[in-house]
């Protein structure tokens, strides 16, 4: 296939574009993860400041508990894609590992199926988050106490949506690459 002189040019070009797209995608996943990581540090500082404020001035800072709760949700969804890529979601390894050794092709297809189901489920979550975002945006949902401090919730919904969408695509890409590796194994065996 690679030795075919007529197709190399077009193939090369497509290959370059593919590598480039992969690079951009990786950057996107990584930068969401960096944002999530920074939020962990911020969360710690925010709560510490709140402790000091409450125990020295007798009053809790406004918004902290609601903001803290939303930050936890952000941390999870912003880092979901990178966790999927690192294969850190908890799973058992009794069956699949052995199965993949004895039946590499079927094993890769099963992995692809699992990843595809993951993509579908997280995709559904993203899909129904759109509706929640529209509702929050239209009705001006906010956290906090009016007159003291409030923050609208829709920007958080956008970040949740973004994290879920990216995670879903990441699962899909994994499914595709697992399928591709099963096809390669078919050719070589």
Partner 1 sequence: MSPIEVGGYSICVLLVLIYMGMPIAVAMVSVSFAGVALIRNEVIATRMIGAVANDALREYLFAVVPLFVLMGLLVTVSGVGKDTFDVFERLLKRVTAGLGIATVFANAVFASITGISIASATVFSRVAVPEMTRHGYTKKFATGVVAGSSVLGMLIPPSLLMIIYAVLAEESVGRMFLAGVGPGLLLSVLFCATIIILAKTRKDFVFETSDDNAGYVDIGGFAMLRKSVPIVSLMLLVLGGLYGGYFNPTEAGAAGAFGALVIALLRRSLSGKSFWNLLVETGQITVSVLFLIMAATFFSRMLALSGVPRELADFFLSGPVGPYGFLILYLVLIIALGCIIDSISIMLILLPISLPIASAAGFDLIWFGVLTVVAVEMGLLTPPFGLSVYTIKSAMNDPDLRVGEIFRGAIPFVFAMLVALVIIAIFPSIATWLARL
Tell me the two tokens of residue 17: 């574009």
SS (H, E, C) 127-151: HHHHHHHHHHHHHCCEEEECCCEEE
| Residue 80 makes contact with partner 1 by CB under 8 A | yes
Residue 189, C-beta contacts closer than 8 angstroms, at least 6 positions apart? 104, 105
Q: Which of 23, 44, 145, 183 binds partner 1 (CB under 8 A)?
A: 44
Say how many C-beta atoms besides its own lie within 10 A of residue 154's C-beta.
19
Q: What are phi and psi of 53, to 5 degrees?
A: -60, -45
| Residue 128 makes contact with partner 1 by CB under 8 A | yes
Do residues 81 and 170 touch, judged by C-beta distance below 8 A? yes
Which lies closer to partner 1 via its Cβ, residue 14 or residue 127?
A: 127
Which lies closer to partner 1 via its Cβ, residue 18 or residue 98?
A: 98
Stretch that binds partner 1, among 9-17, 19-27, 110-118, 177-185 (CB under 8 A): 110-118
Do residues 165 and 153 touch, judged by C-beta distance below 8 A? no
Which lies closer to partner 1 via its Cβ, residue 11 or residue 88?
A: 88
Provide the binding-site residues for partner 1, judged by CB under 8 A. 33, 36-37, 40-41, 43-45, 47-48, 50-51, 55, 65-66, 68-73, 75-76, 79-80, 82-83, 86, 88-97, 99, 110, 114, 117-118, 120-121, 124-125, 127-129, 131-132, 157, 160, 164
């Amino acid at each position: 296939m690679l030795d075919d002189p007529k197709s190399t040019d077009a193939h090369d070009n497509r290959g370059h574009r593919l590598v480039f797209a992969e690079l951009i995608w990786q950057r996107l996943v990584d930068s969401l993860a960096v944002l999530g990581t920074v939020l962990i540090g911020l969360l710690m500082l925010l709560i510490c400041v709140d402790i000091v404020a409450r125990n020295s001035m007798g009053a809790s800072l406004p918004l902290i508990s609601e903001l803290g709760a939303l930050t936890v949700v952000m941390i999870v969804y912003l880092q979901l894609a990178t966790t999927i890529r690192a294969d850190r979601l908890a799973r058992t390894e009794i069956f699949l590992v052995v199965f993949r050794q004895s039946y590499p092709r079927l094993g890769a297809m099963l992995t692809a199926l699992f990843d595809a189901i993951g993509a579908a489920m997280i995709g559904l979550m993203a899909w129904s988050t759109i509706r929640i975002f529209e509702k929050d945006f239209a009705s001006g949902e906010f956290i906090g106490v009016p007159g003291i401090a409030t923050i609208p919730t829709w920007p958080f919904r956008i970040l949740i949506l973004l994290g879920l969408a990216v995670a879903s695509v990441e699962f899909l890409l994994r499914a595709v690459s697992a399928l591709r590796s099963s096809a390669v194994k078919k050719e070589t065996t």
